[in-house]
């Protein structure tokens, strides 16, 4: 997934995470679900933390959730993020019961609040990488 035109860190791509990033590339986020107990988990990993099963499948995410927390970054720790500043990062509780961190779009800082309803969006960072973003619902 290395791309010399993209100067931000790339997410790890491995056997566990590849189906997630493939679903992002398709603009159709899927989440990992334990095939034994049905618990949905994110980030993708090989073992269920509820029943220790190593069997899983993938389910389509609704893309709907609520803000759990956020921060507004005014400093870029890596040069690739300078153009994004100030950058709002949100932690979102998805309706599926998992948390995900992404950048927030189209939302003035004073509008942010805990439990603000948000919707998932997709941004193609490279031809191989699509990142999640959120917007107010």
For Zn ion, the binding residues in 37-96 under the rule CB under 5 A are 37, 39, 48, 50-51, 53
Binding of Zn ion by 36 (CB under 5 A): yes
With respect to Zn ion, which residue has the nearer C-beta, 56 or 134? 56
The rounded distance, in Å, linking the Cα atoms of 134 and 4 is 26
Among 24, 29, 34, 67, binds Zn ion (CB under 5 A): 34
What end-to-end distance do the CA atoms of the chain give, in Å? 31
Q: Is 59 exposed, middle or buried (0-12, 13-18, 19+ CB in 10 A)?
A: middle
With respect to Zn ion, which residue has the nearer C-beta, 41 or 70? 41
Q: How far is the CB of 45 from Zn ion (least distance, A)?
A: 12
Element (H, E) at 101: strand 99-104
Q: How far is the CB of 57 from Zn ion (least distance, A)?
A: 11
Q: How far is the CB of 59 from Zn ion (least distance, A)?
A: 14
With respect to Zn ion, which residue has the nearer C-beta, 34 or 129? 34
Q: How far is the CB of 40 from Zn ion (least distance, A)?
A: 10
Binding of Zn ion by 115 (CB under 5 A): no
Whether residue 92 contacts residue 66, with contact meaning beta carbons closer than 8 Å, is answered with: yes
Q: Is 118 exposed, middle or buried (0-12, 13-18, 19+ CB in 10 A)?
A: buried
Give the closest residue to 99 by CA, choosing from 43, 58, 61, 50.
Answer: 43
Site residues for Zn ion per CB under 5 A: 34, 36-37, 39, 48, 50-51, 53
């Amino acid at each position: 997934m290395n791309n010399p035109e993209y100067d931000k860190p790339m997410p790890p791509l491995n056997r566990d995470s590849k189906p997630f990033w493939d679903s992002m590339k398709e603009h159709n986020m899927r989440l990992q679900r334990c095939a034994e107990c049905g618990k949905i988990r994110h980030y993708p990993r090989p073992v269920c933390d509820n029943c220790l099963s190593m069997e899983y499948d993938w389910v389509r995410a609704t893309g709907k959730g609520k803000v759990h927390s956020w921060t507004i970054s005014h400093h870029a720790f890596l040069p690739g993020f300078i153009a994004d500043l100030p950058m709002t990062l949100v932690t979102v509780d998805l309706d599926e019961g998992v948390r995900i961190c992404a950048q927030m779009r189209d939302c003035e800082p004073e509008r942010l609040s805990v439990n603000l309803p948000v919707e998932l969006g997709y941004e193609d960072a490279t031809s191989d990488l699509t990142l999640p973003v959120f917007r107010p619902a």
